[in-house]
Structure 1
Amino acid sequence: MTKPVIFQKLLTEQQLSPAKILMLLSQLEHIVYLRNVKQPIIAFAASEYMLVQHKKIQNFKRTAFNHYQEKSENIDFNKFLNKQNQQRHADFNGGLIGFISYDDAAQQQVKIKEKNQPTLFLGIYHNFIKLTDQGWMFFSQENEADTIFQAIQNLLSNKPQQTFSLNQACTARWTKQEYFNAFEQVQNYIRAGDCYQINLTQEFTAKAQGRLLDTAEAFWKLTDAPYSGYLKIQDFELLSCSPELFIDFEAHRKIITKPIKGTMPRYADPDLDERSKQTLIHSKKDQAENVMIVDLLRNDLSVYAETGSVQTPKLFAIESFNQVHHMVSEVTATLQEDVNPFDVLMSALPGGSITGAPKIRAMQIIDELEGAPRGAYCGSMGYFNFDGTGSWNILIRSIQKYQNDISLWAGGGITIASDCDAEYQECFDKVAAMLDLLNTWYTPE
């Protein structure tokens, strides 16, 4: 049972942005921001957490404010999720927050390489601030709420210093020819019957110093992404500008997934923009690609769903974002009564929209061809309330920084009908604006 919620008004300046608050609180361990909630939240002072890095699982418990000690027993996240008395709205009220990398999720099913950085972080949070109609409000379910409230107020009186800069421009790790070679190998696997679709992606890399967080405000304004977020774990930072939902866990055991497959660029000229949108609407290739992933996800969810409850209420809908139009479908289901939402999340990852079909063979081919581990990219970031409701994204359009290494990825689904030049261009349609913005932090000598 959780303790009664204690809340106090923390800030009345509603115009104070999440990025600014994060910068002021940046010295806190495991600070996390999520937009994919009814009211954006910033959580801190996890009571306990699990961290996975280099395949080593560590569990920690808070001993004092912003101080942690490793403990021997693993955290059983299932026990925190009570499936009874589910709330009726998508909003965080204390619970589990974190991220699961693509590397960690795929590793549960196939042997792949892993990026040299944290691959999973899951924390139990009883302390957070939430943007309400009155301003930023402090919430806590702990006896030390007053002490934590005062510590947060003290931090908010600081003045943050900008520290981030690139040591070199962020550029593609692959040449165009190297992309073409990988594309042709995918086509060979498809022709051989190994797979129907592979989500082939390429990495853009740079060296940097300072806090990636310093760029967050600009990136969130640029993308206006509905599933954006931020997480810091020591010298690892994850900045999400994701437009894609993986799974919403709603009241009454209802779940929703919204895979994205199909992309066309946006244009400032209204006529060109509408033409681009209509091209996507009528693209048989993108429809075929989209329905493959819908079928994969329907199959993934049916394992845990009540018989006959898996539905596809939306197929080939178009959603428009700042830089691109996307083709988005929707799959819904009702979970069986004895199923724990946490188990559903962990077994359904990585999402079918960023692997391919069939999933296991697709992940093996991805590991063979992409030439570097994806890390957090194409994993998931989100939350569970203690009642089992929650929301988890797909980590696309996301930037990772570990020590001095910056990593940004983009790609798309390859089918037998794919055109190599068009697929290569799609990578840049998705991240060109983000790359251009990121490179403003590089000043050539």
Structure 2
Amino acid sequence: MKRFPYQYSPGFKFWKQKLMYWANSNFDFFAYLDGNASPYPSEPFQNLFFAGSQELSESEIWNESRKQFKVGIIGYDYKNQLEKLKSENPSYLGLPELCFFTPSICFQFEKDQVNSKYKLSEGFWKEIETVELPNSNTSCDVISHLNKMEYIEKVHAIQEQIREGETYELNFCQTFEGTFENWDPISSFFQLQEVSPMPFSVLFKAGSKWLVSASPERFLKKVGTKIIAQPIKGTIRRGKNEIEDQENKQALLESEKERAENLMITDLTRNDLSKISKTGSVQVQELFGIYELPRVFQMISTVQSTLKPDISFKEIIDATFPMGSMTGAPKIRTMELIDELESFKRNWFSGAFGWIDEKGDFDFSVIIRSILADLATKKLYFGVGSAITSDAEAALEYEECLLKAQVLLEVLHGKPRK
């Protein structure tokens, strides 16, 4: 255990940055999670750090006989292993569907100290403190792949599918792509933390591939026999002052459209959890909860249940993945339409990032408001989306997407196409 009495001073922030650069130089994989003390229902991510160089095979990811920490990503296109689905759109980056490692270093930041799972020598702390922070670049040339008129045409095409009874709600996403010569994901993450500290913030390295995430959404959390899902549907920007803030918050709560979207996905989530839960245990703990985040208010519902005995991690994922908030309903047919209507392979975007401990407890976020990058190919991308229903106004949905993209564009110093 290492105490840091200056945790809430700039010194501790710089120490964490030094830790990330040290880990980048010494390990193939690392992950830093920060819940930013968010008042999130069922708590945000714990503040955790993992580092190691042992990647796990697919069979090792699902194998529960060996009690070990596992940290990583389930990409959206893992859906193709669960259903008769495919992903034929172009891919920005060559990202694996499953990417997990087991850490050799693991500790938690808590109050004024660091609690380490493994014994660390005094020399370790001195080594971190001697790391020099580089002059880094967070700028990137960014372009969007849909302009406003193209986006509106796509929304109208989705609404035609809704009229024909093919889907009720479809989460349609567009992308922003970036190229760079010398872009620093570590510095970008800490800059993102400054402007948008979120309950599921993550910095994840897997070789040359990176996730820089400011996610507001939990996918699944397991504690003992309890499983919690928290779909988000419903977004409105924060106000310029307290009065406008309260007006916007109330407008979101009273929006029939947003409530209908949220209810559809909450019902889908209840159905998914019922496959792995004890009969009668699936309960909606909170419906249409409105929560304040740095740039937006989000409508979050919380669904909780008690797992059936001896349910495995793989069985839980197979029953619930991908999360309904990123597909729509009905899930399988809507995923087919997503592949037809979107122009890119989602890869890690709208998948899940998280960790599993030796007891089998876990916590996974939804990979949204996140930058995916490959330093080897010098490319990155991020996606933003919204739920399209029969009464959605295409122009307003486009503005919602730009609202979600805004903070990432600020960090990358990019601008959207008009």
Normalising by structure 1, we get a TM-score of 0.83
Measure how far apart 1:171 and its partner are: 3.2
Measure how far apart 1:39 and its partner are: 4.1
Partner amino acid for 1:160? L
Measure how far apart 1:262 and its partner are: 0.7
Distance 1:196 1:383 in 2: 33
Measure how far apart 1:240 and its partner are: 1.1
Which deviates the most, 238-247 or 211-220?
211-220
The counterpart of 1:389, out of the listed 331, 336, 361, is 361
Q: Could you tell me whether the CA contact under 8 Å between 1:304 and 1:336 is conserved in 2?
A: yes
The counterpart of 2:401, out of the listed 406, 417, 427, is 427
Distance 1:118 1:12, change over 3 A: farther
Matches within 5 A, 1:232-243: 232-243=205-216
Paired residues, number: 394
Measure how far apart 1:265 and its partner are: 0.7
The equivalent residue for 2:64 is: 79
Partner amino acid for 2:21? M
2:14 aligned with 1:21, yes or no? no
Tell me the SS of whatever aligns to 2:333. Answer: helix
Q: Deviations over 1:296-324 (max 9, x none)?
A: 11111111000000111211110111111
The counterpart of 1:99, out of the listed 67, 70, 73, is 73
Tell me the SS of whatever aligns to 1:279. Answer: helix
Distance 2:405 2:65 in 1: 37
The equivalent residue for 2:38 is: none
2:244 aligned with 1:272, yes or no? yes
Measure how far apart 1:156 and its partner are: 4.2
Tell me the SS of whatever aligns to 1:336. Answer: coil
The counterpart of 1:43, out of the listed 44, 50, 53, is 50
Q: Could you tell me whether the CA contact under 8 Å between 1:312 and 1:330 is conserved in 2?
A: yes
Tell me the SS of whatever aligns to 1:158. Answer: coil
Distance 1:216 1:417 in 2: 37
Distance 1:412 1:271 in 2: 26
Measure how far apart 1:338 and its partner are: 1.9
Measure how far apart 1:233 and its partner are: 1.2
The equivalent residue for 1:376 is: 348
Distance 1:296 1:405, change over 3 A: same
2:145 aligned with 1:136, yes or no? no
Measure how far apart 1:133 and its partner are: 3.1
Distance 1:80 1:10 in 2: 35
2:189 aligned with 1:216, yes or no? yes
Distance 1:279 1:365, change over 3 A: same
Distance 2:131 2:358 in 1: 33
Partner amino acid for 2:379? D
Percent identity among equivalent residues?
28
Structure 2 runs not aligned, ≥5 long: 36-43
Matches within 5 A, 1:17-416: 17=13, 18-27=16-25, 28-36=27-35, 39-46=46-53, 48-50=54-56, 59=57, 74-75=59-60, 77-80=62-65, 95-106=69-80, 108-109=82-83, 110-113=85-88, 115=91, 116-119=93-96, 120-140=98-118, 145=119, 150=123, 153-168=126-141, 170-208=142-180, 209-251=182-224, 253-402=225-374, 403-416=377-390
Distance 1:146 1:435, change over 3 A: closer
Which deviates the most, 209-218 or 234-243?
209-218
Distance 1:210 1:437, change over 3 A: closer
Q: Could you tell me whether the CA contact under 8 Å between 2:18 and 2:131 is conserved in 1?
A: no
Normalising by structure 2, we get a TM-score of 0.88
Tell me the SS of whatever aligns to 2:171. Answer: strand
Measure how far apart 1:153 and its partner are: 4.5
Tell me the SS of whatever aligns to 2:24. Answer: coil
Partner amino acid for 2:394? C
RMSD of aligned Cα (Å): 2.3
Distance 1:81 1:279 in 2: 50
Q: Deviations over 1:388-412 (max 9, x none)?
A: 1121011111111123112121111
Q: Could you tell me whether the CA contact under 8 Å between 2:355 and 2:364 is conserved in 1?
A: yes
Distance 1:358 1:38 in 2: 29
Partner amino acid for 1:112? S
Structure 1 runs not aligned, ≥5 long: 1-7, 51-58, 60-72, 83-93
Partner amino acid for 1:21? L
Distance 2:125 2:82 in 1: 38
Q: Could you tell me whether the CA contact under 8 Å between 1:203 and 1:408 is conserved in 2?
A: yes
Distance 1:360 1:32, change over 3 A: same
Distance 1:414 1:81 in 2: 43
Measure how far apart 1:74 and its partner are: 4.0
Measure how far apart 1:26 and its partner are: 1.7
Distance 2:49 2:302 in 1: 28
